[in-house]
Structure 1
């Protein structure tokens, strides 16, 4: 069997999931990956056969999306040409993790795909949304990468086609410890937006993962790390808690390890607002604005006892078998 797997590289989560799935997919056949976008900062240890600049996210300085930078970097003609050139008819199964170019290619070449991943869960109206829905956000979630079939991943089973999160082997096999540090992963914030708040809590040590950091070093109560999967896993497994965005993979792994979480969704990022709504419903604290009193928000979070919800991990062999059966069903 020849498998085409499209990765939306607007963040590290899609790539991390693909890396975890790769050895399991190889048991079903040969796998070629298509990577669309250029936001990821992880080392991509995958057989990437096709690449496109696609559509990438750009952030403002302190926790929001920069829509102007996103728009000016979109090249529709190039994306159309990329879609035409993908040889999808050479493949038996096309798996699409929320990539618009692959969806367009399927339409142009009259082949079908299955949308697989977290964004597929939002096809269901039962998946949590914020109190104020965004019409544009809903359109993007439902029509950015259309597919006739969907298999979603989410914190809980909100619908029949939604399955538990893919948890990395390193996390599932780990023995969690509490070494008292707080892990920080907030890629939409630049360093000078938050550093002062962390320095105001000198008794608390932080492990801060930043795209611009080249090597691990410690200044005061902060150890700065480059975005490195191995080091991040070690920090997460041994942390007291984690402060992260409103993404999916990192909160899912933290929940699986039963770690304390403070979620700060990216401003005007509707999918993250939806994830934050789901986390909030589960009892996880969410902060929508950090401002000049972020240190007080952190202090209050650390001093407040919260119930940490339990989530299941995905059975990858069963999920992939379900995926291939779904793909081949009428």
Structure 2
């Protein structure tokens, strides 16, 4: 079977999921003909993704969030305004998606939670000759068993609206989950394991006595540097996406910031003592696979990440806080209850489950 991927390019999570699924498909005799990546002006498609996806990569501008002045949190109202002003560009990019699909004539188009891909599915539904499948942790927000925070109901409704647009006219929705949950076929919703790459699955965890941090939004580095200035005896390695910064950047002893490099990041994840990050789904899963205690700090005004942190805490991944107070992680590490074996068993079922759902 032939596949085309459409990947949301914000952060690394959806990209690494796409790499994992591509490898599964190829190992089972299928082919990914092209990969479209929705991106914003402030992001570049990482080199590691272009190298490892091993298919033609086509970038296009897709709706995205606007950061606040400190480059930490999201500005929801401003994001809506800016994206509305770019509506002509987005409408034009629907044709970019369609041209790629028409050129390669896939049996299946897989959408890794890109909003414009969902709009494409709706607008071009009458000419579709392929199965449209959506993949992402966010799809679990439609599951009857998913627990939301009781606060911020407006943001909850906006998030669910976003998810419903992204999955518009889909044939199948595959919700990535930390734990097993019942399928809900009436909603076309099937609960599946996380998509982790071979670099994670094939290596064992070690502890080399340092902490690892990852932040998509560079503004959080100020908090990290301020904390570490009072705890310089702690070895801390961080990854960020500040394109103009030196690589590596060392504010002071025992603290280093690297530009995002996939192989380097995975090796540091494998060997760290604990992990701190904004609450992106994929890196939480990698930390859980290797049994690493986690401090999750959801990006300000990012309701999706708040939901991720609550879900991961419930699954035993670690603790959540509204600031990068790394002392909390240091205190938590000795009492972390490792659920590594249980989580690994769930993850290792991924290939069988995905092949059954995608190729039947």
- Common fold, TM-score beyond 0.5? yes
Q: 1:67 to 1:48 in 2, by over 3 A?
A: farther
Q: Per the alignment, in what secondary structure is the counterpart of residue 165 of structure 1?
A: coil
Unpaired runs of at least 5, structure 2: 184-189
Q: 1:56 to 1:149 in 2, by over 3 A?
A: same
What is residue 215 of structure 1 aligned with on the other side? Answer: 247
What is residue 14 of structure 1 aligned with on the other side? Answer: 14
Q: 1:102 to 1:217 in 2, by over 3 A?
A: closer
Q: Per the alignment, in what secondary structure is the counterpart of residue 273 of structure 1?
A: helix
1:128·1:275 contact (CA, 8 Å) conserved in 2?
no
What is residue 70 of structure 1 aligned with on the other side? Answer: 79
2:110 pairs with one of 86, 95, 100? 95
- Give matches, 1:14-93, under 5 Å: 14-26=14-26, 27-38=29-40, 39=43, 42-43=46-47, 44-45=49-50, 46=53, 47-60=55-68, 61=70, 63-67=72-76, 70-74=79-83, 75-85=86-96, 86-87=98-99, 88-89=101-102, 90-93=105-108
1:128 paired with 2:147, answer yes
1:25·1:320 contact (CA, 8 Å) conserved in 2?
no
Q: 1:241 to 1:59 in 2, by over 3 A?
A: same
d(CA) in 1 for partners of 2:35, 2:326 = 42
State the Cα deviation string for residues 263-313 of structure 1 (Å, max 9, x = none): 11112212211111112212344333227xx254344334x5121333131
After TM superposition, the score normalised by the length of structure 2 is: 0.82
Q: How many Å apart are 1:115 and its aligned residue?
A: 0.9
Q: How many Å apart are 1:59 and its aligned residue?
A: 2.7
Q: Per the alignment, in what secondary structure is the counterpart of residue 203 of structure 1?
A: coil
1:283 paired with 2:302, answer no
1:114 pairs with one of 133, 140, 150? 133
Q: How many Å apart are 1:49 and its aligned residue?
A: 4.5
- Give matches, 1:1-330, under 5 Å: 1-26=1-26, 27-38=29-40, 39=43, 42-43=46-47, 44-45=49-50, 46=53, 47-60=55-68, 61=70, 63-67=72-76, 70-74=79-83, 75-85=86-96, 86-87=98-99, 88-89=101-102, 90-109=105-124, 110=126, 111=128, 112-132=131-151, 133=153, 134-146=156-168, 147-160=170-183, 161-190=190-219, 191-212=221-242, 213-216=245-248, 218=250, 219-290=252-323, 294-302=325-333, 304-310=334-340, 311=343, 312-325=346-359
User: Once superposed, which parts of structure 1, at least 4 consecutive aligned residues long, lie more than 6 Å away?
Assistant: none
Unpaired runs of at least 5, structure 1: none
Q: How many Å apart are 1:253 and its aligned residue?
A: 0.6
1:63·1:189 contact (CA, 8 Å) conserved in 2?
yes
1:36·1:99 contact (CA, 8 Å) conserved in 2?
yes
For the aligned residue pairs, the C-alpha RMSD in angstroms reads 2.3
d(CA) in 1 for partners of 2:193, 2:113 = 17
d(CA) in 2 for partners of 1:40, 1:13 = 14
Q: Per the alignment, in what secondary structure is the counterpart of residue 129 of structure 1?
A: coil
